[in-house]
Amino acid sequence: MDKYSEILSAWQNLKIQNAAELEAALNGYVIQFAYHSGKIENPNITYNDTREIFDRDGVTNFTGDVRTIFEIRNAKDASNFVLDAFDRQESLTQEFILQLHYELTKNTYDTRSWQVGERTGAFKKHDYVTGRYEVGSPPEDVERELVALLEEIRQVALRTNDHIFTAAAYFHAKFENIHPFSDGNGRTGRLAMNYFLLQHNHPPIVIHEEDKTSIISRWKPLIRKKNLRRSNSF
């Protein structure tokens, strides 16, 4: 039995049925996930600040950019949103992802983003460029491509429970490739991926900041296979 199979077996033996049981099982994981997911995007996020906000809803002696505090607080709100959704057995849908993005990014869009029509909890209105290259799908294609992606992983989950982790990795890689929002794509994609895992009785994962590049390079081949039916192994 490989390491992931051992972890999966231990997780499934918990027989988690509701948000209270899930929260107890996750224990300190939620803070670890919020810290690492946030730090990938914002190097000013610290573990101590994250822990303080999750535990006490505030920080002491903070002198940095207030956006950092908003991002950590939003991560806490998004975690609570996911717990509530799990309790309601809510499906991973376009509407779910839009609300998740809102929870993660509210009060963080800058003036320029607002001036060009970008909003939290809404798909991007413009193409974006990093260096020499455009990032993601054209705005007019985002909704169609995201709906198709969600249906693709839903169909896999209906057919078998054997490839849930592969489907989750594929979702994350393809979601980042679509890049549906002007900001917050990474944080939204990682949390949505974990919600998909939780839906199907798999443990969530933490992508550490220092491991992001190597993990993404391993997941990119899933996108090149064009669809999940051709991605039967990971």
Determine if residue 161 is labeled as part of a ligand binding site: no
Determine if residue 119 is labeled as part of a ligand binding site: no
Determine if residue 187 is labeled as part of a ligand binding site: yes
Burial label for 180, CB within 10 Å (0-12, 13-18, 19+), is: buried
Of the candidates 206, 157, 188, the residue with the CA atom closest to the CA atom of residue 26? 206
Report yes or no: 182 and 113 within 8 Å, Cβ to Cβ. yes
- 101, 179, 200, 208: which is the annotated catalytic residue? 179
Distance CA 144, CA 231 (A): 21
Determine if residue 211 is labeled as part of a ligand binding site: no
Distance CA 154, CA 164 (A): 10
Determine if residue 186 is labeled as part of a ligand binding site: yes
Catalytic annotation present for 179? yes
Determine if residue 189 is labeled as part of a ligand binding site: yes
Distance CA 60, CA 221 (A): 44
Binding residues for ATP, by number, are 183-190
Q: Just list the catalytic residues.
A: 179
Binding site, annotated residues: 183-190
